[in-house]
Structure 1
Amino acid sequence: MTDTKQEADFLIHPENTFLYIWQLFMVALVLFSAISLPLYAVFAKDIPVLLIIIVFLFFCDIFINLRVAVKTKNGFCWETAEILKSYRKGFFIPDMIAALPWWLPVALLFKNEEPGIITRFLFLLPLIKILKIGHYLQVFEKSLTINPTIIRLIKFIVLVGIIAHWLASGWVLIGPVKEGLPADDFSKYIRALYWCITTIATVGYGDISPDLSQNHQIIYTMFSMILGVGIYGYVIGNVASLLANIDVAKANFMRRMEEINSFIKNKKIPLEIAQKILDYYNYLWETQQGGNDSQVMNELPQSLSIEVSMYLNKTIIQKVPFFTKMNEVFIREIIMQLEPLIFLPQDYIVRRGEFGDCMFFLSAGSVDVKGSNGELYATLGEGAFFGEMSLIRGEKRNAYIMAREYCDVYRLTKESFDELRRKYPDFDQQVIETVAERDAMNKKKTEKPAAPVKKQ
């Protein structure tokens, strides 16, 4: 189905920005309803206007859900019948219950009276929409970069808060009224919330307790106690683990550092070398947060791995003169041949006099190019490359290249380079032309003009 047809039918793509914002609004509305509707059910003297608005918005949500394409294994299904079928298997019934004004017939029948117990109960039916909040949150969690443990902790805190609020609202409705205490709605709710917290926290001071002559108060209290014991047990069993796993990467890094320290101690590594080892692992933590980029890339499908590598390295590759005119197929292949390396400050990446069997691309950091006596020729920064001429000719290096700081580089070996020259004749010709141009430039620089002949 074409985009034009989709727009004509008012169909919405599941990844549409409007749908994302609407679902976010629904989460906020459901949470607001979870707080406000119990209060309306307890304290309302008439049909609340906000209740009418909430029900109307829930009905709008049904209409929007009926216009959202269904995601399948082969893409998206835009057929209205399939959308309805999928919705009916999901949250259609809870959404319909939440969106209908069940209290309206009762309110019209007893319009001159204060809402009774049945009407107040019907006020709570839209709360069934809370069953769908988990579905909404799954959508948002996929696009968030927040630690999943933190999300779980926040959801647990919100859940406990809502349960406490509901229990407190119920206690306002059925709990005993003590003489001499403030009788306004706010004071009633605060005392009920105090009773609820002391009950589910298994503290139970006893200053607010059920009337032993009222069975419904006793049953409600026992239910709250059982629920409180369950929450308390969950807290004891899980919160400590949740807190410990808030920063899993940091915990893994600390365990790794313990192993490194043990290795240094057992092998009696000299202090200077030991400090370099520790500095190296601290650098890995600062730049990669304990992750392993190579492992992640190896786990990705080949097509996706190439796409990520292209994004990270294409700019660097295209700065090399004999790569500039090559097509994207060639660039993709050469990028997959690159080997990531890390060099410490003052490390020699290239040494004068050694045979060149690779070239380097500087991804991060800076290096110094030095002569045989330590004189500084140049300083290269991020995006630079070096070692290409020795790689082509197999000659000895003519300079030292030393890391000024921690450097992330990519290495291209001579074997990979020569293989590319064999596979791509255009590239081989580009290399030959580039070498010839450089030789001509170097010859021109070294030639001195002949001294003028003096006339006798």
Structure 2
Amino acid sequence: MDEVDVDGDGQIDIYEFVKMMKKNKSSALETNRMSILAKNVLVAHQKKLEKNIIGEDLWMINPMEVRHAVWDIAMSLLITINVITLPLTLGWEEMNDRFFVMNLTFDFIFILDIVKNFCTGFIDENDAVIMDAKTVRNNYLTGFFLSDVLSSVPLDFVLQAVGVETNESVAGTKRTLKMLRLLKLAKLFRLLRISRMFRYIKIMFVFFEETLHIRISDGFMKLLRLMTGAMFLAHWIGCFNFMLVRFNDFPEDSWVVYAGLQYQSPYTQWSWSFFKALAQMIMIGFETPPFTNASCDAATDWCSVEHWITLACLYLGAVFYSLLISSISSIIQTASLASRQFEEKLIQLDDYMRSKRLPSSLREKVKDYFHLQHADGKLFNEREILDMVTPILRREIQYFNGRGVADKIPMLSSVAHKFFAEELATVIQSTIAFTDEVLMKERTIGDEMYFINSGVVDIYLDDNKQRIYCTIGDGCFFGEVSVLLGIRRTASVKTRTQCILYKVTKENLLNILKDFPETAVDLRRIADIRRRRLAHHLHADDSCVEP
């Protein structure tokens, strides 16, 4: 009592009880000794913690609400658009004028986002929702506040107000003021908040996989991220290249003048700038048209700048190229790893059967079983995989894999045996039996019990005539007489059709039944009735059977 009653008040409250149960949780789960009541108390307490909200400021926005998610997605899309248009406004004055109203609107929306963040709760490291206004303010001020403010200043409006966009300044002052446009790069701090979009993209992929059954491989996503990053980088490098040429008033020995692009439309100029950057990044710049690489052949100031830019692009390209090759190699090596293991095991199995000179009919039967047992053409070491996760996760995976037993067996689908079915689902094993396969032999010791998921089996008496006692199918079970009553098998069982079965060992079944005495009584009653009915069938004059 003293060990459990931590606060010494002579009573055990819910937190002391939960602490005690969690302390012995591992051993209790292993032996299935924890009572259903104790498990329900722990589950209810965990749900309470998951819904725990600290703070009661009514005007605060809960981060778990749908409207918050919609706002985050909208903000992420605006950040993406801003990252695309920002280098265009730096490189082309026409683009800057065209996007002026849009950028000013975006800046206003980002200022509203700052205000909203002061009014939005957050989830702490313990998964509790913090809704206390003072705590929320302190958390935001010490977090993303500074970067959000720097990226939300309406620089377009400020620069236009000081005359950067006009042509009234002298040449030197005009160039200096134009360089002030580089202050717009502060808007890149918004990228720190783009992680919100990745979280919702992940949720979307989970929805596609579980609801629409469309699986997007990790290798494909890795390659897609790499290519998207390369496109963004080439876009920025191309715009930056053109911006430097324009800021220097189109030098005669620049690649833009060499190609005659200074009088072309902004779209044409951007297209060649993007092509130049992309060609240099993938290290084929010197095999492309001359104006896409360093065309300078004199020791001028501009040529020095252009050579350094080209060198930087080539180094970035080398890094990207190596990442691309390594990613593709990794994808090829890990793609369909389970399928390749399946093929290797199948070849190994075929070589074994040929070396043992098994008859062709038996070899084909074994191959058919192998294909049926692994219908999706993939082979996994399930025991090794389950050993890699925690006991709680292992239990959840096993329950999900075996949940079909409760749906198919009428007895287990009843409310009275619901919790027993959940426990049983964690220990059963799925197996396949071919037509005319003997599953049990009469007068042998029974170590397993079977539930029929699909198929038909014959229960017969192992005498000279092999008389069929009865035939059962989907939703039925057999083998419980020997397992539960501790006697030898009273009959033999053979499959009439191909069957998919759920198998549970005697040890696992008896351990689970210790926690479900009512279910144990029902199963033993059914087993005893079946035993006496079979005895009555064999010796009608000497045995009686319960009606």
**Alpha-carbon distance in structure 2 between the residues aligned to 1:288 and 1:9:** 55
Please say if 1:99 is aligned against 2:188: no
**Alpha-carbon distance in structure 1 between the residues aligned to 2:470 and 2:277:** 76
Please say if 1:221 is aligned against 2:310: yes
**Alpha-carbon distance in structure 2 between the residues aligned to 1:307 and 1:180:** 67
Could you say if the C-alpha distance between residues 316 and 416 of structure 1 is closer, same or farther in structure 2, counting changes exceeding 3 Å?
same
Superposed, 1:49-198 pairs within 5 Å as 49-66=101-118, 67-73=120-126, 75-110=128-163, 113=166, 117-118=178-179, 120-134=181-195, 136-137=197-198, 140-141=201-202, 144-145=205-206, 146-173=216-243, 174=245, 175-178=255-258, 183-198=264-279
What is the CA deviation profile of residues 291-329 of structure 1, one whole-angstrom value per residue up to 9, with x for unaligned ones? 344555555544444455555556735846599575666
Could you say if the C-alpha distance between residues 21 and 361 of structure 1 is closer, same or farther in structure 2, counting changes exceeding 3 Å?
farther
Alignment partner of 1:9 out of 48, 55, 59: 59
Superposed, 1:292-331 pairs within 5 Å as 292-310=381-399, 313=402, 316-317=405-406, 319=409, 321=411, 326=416, 330-331=420-421
Q: Secondary structure at the match of 2:495?
A: strand
What is the CA deviation profile of residues 255-287 of structure 1, one whole-angstrom value per residue up to 9, with x for unaligned ones? 444544554455555544443444344334435
What is the CA deviation profile of residues 349-390 of structure 1, one whole-angstrom value per residue up to 9, with x for unaligned ones? 534524462321234x42333656687964623x43223345
Could you say if the C-alpha distance between residues 282 and 416 of structure 1 is closer, same or farther in structure 2, counting changes exceeding 3 Å?
closer
Q: Counterpart amino acid of 1:177?
A: V
Please say if 1:411 is aligned against 2:504: yes
Q: Counterpart amino acid of 1:150?
A: F
CA contact (8 A) 2:455 2:473 kept: yes
CA contact (8 A) 1:359 1:386 kept: yes
Q: Secondary structure at the match of 1:72?
A: coil
Alignment partner of 1:362 out of 452, 468, 476: 452
May I ask how many residue pairs the two structures share in their alignment?
442
What is the CA deviation profile of residues 138-188 of structure 1, one whole-angstrom value per residue up to 9, with x for unaligned ones? 564477454332222111000100111111112333152247666111111
**Alpha-carbon distance in structure 1 between the residues aligned to 2:410 and 2:341:** 39
Q: Secondary structure at the match of 1:359?
A: strand
Q: Counterpart amino acid of 2:329?
A: A
1:330, CA displacement in angstroms?
A: 4.7
CA contact (8 A) 1:322 1:434 kept: no
Could you say if the C-alpha distance between residues 309 and 6 of structure 1 is closer, same or farther in structure 2, counting changes exceeding 3 Å?
farther
CA contact (8 A) 1:368 1:376 kept: no
Could you say if the C-alpha distance between residues 101 and 403 of structure 1 is closer, same or farther in structure 2, counting changes exceeding 3 Å?
farther
Q: Counterpart amino acid of 1:128?
A: F
Gap regions ≥5 residues in structure 2: 1-50, 168-173, 207-215, 246-254, 542-547
Moved more, 180-189 or 160-169: 180-189
**Alpha-carbon distance in structure 1 between the residues aligned to 2:329 and 2:192:** 27
Q: Secondary structure at the match of 1:10?
A: coil
Moved more, 319-328 or 90-99: 319-328
What is the CA deviation profile of residues 51-71 of structure 1, one whole-angstrom value per residue up to 9, with x for unaligned ones? 123323333443444413132
Could you say if the C-alpha distance between residues 87 and 255 of structure 1 is closer, same or farther in structure 2, counting changes exceeding 3 Å?
farther
**Alpha-carbon distance in structure 2 between the residues aligned to 1:8 and 1:158:** 42
Moved more, 270-279 or 309-318: 309-318
Give identity over the alignment, percent: 15
Superposed, 1:324-363 pairs within 5 Å as 326=416, 330-331=420-421, 333-336=423-426, 338-346=427-435, 348=437, 350-351=439-440, 353-355=442-444, 357=446, 358-363=448-453
User: TM-score w.r.t. structure 2 length?
Assistant: 0.67
Gap regions ≥5 residues in structure 1: 449-456
What is the CA deviation profile of residues 72-97 of structure 1, one whole-angstrom value per residue up to 9, with x for unaligned ones? 13634433444444445544333322
Q: Counterpart amino acid of 2:92?
A: F
Alignment partner of 2:91 out of 37, 42, 60: 42
User: TM-score w.r.t. structure 1 length?
Assistant: 0.78
Q: Counterpart amino acid of 2:449?
A: M
Superposed, 1:282-301 pairs within 5 Å as 282-287=371-376, 289-301=378-390
Partner of 1:207: 290
What is the CA deviation profile of residues 199-245 of structure 1, one whole-angstrom value per residue up to 9, with x for unaligned ones? 22222235204444313333222222222222223223332223332
Partner of 1:452: none
CA contact (8 A) 1:70 1:78 kept: no
CA contact (8 A) 1:351 1:397 kept: no
What is the CA deviation profile of residues 96-131 of structure 1, one whole-angstrom value per residue up to 9, with x for unaligned ones? 222221332221122772696235423443233224
CA contact (8 A) 1:316 1:384 kept: no
Q: CA RMSD in A?
A: 4.1
Q: Secondary structure at the match of 1:8?
A: coil
1:342, CA displacement in angstroms?
A: 1.6
CA contact (8 A) 1:362 1:384 kept: yes
**Alpha-carbon distance in structure 1 between the residues aligned to 2:405 and 2:459:** 23
Alignment partner of 2:478 out of 377, 386, 390: 386
CA contact (8 A) 1:359 1:385 kept: yes
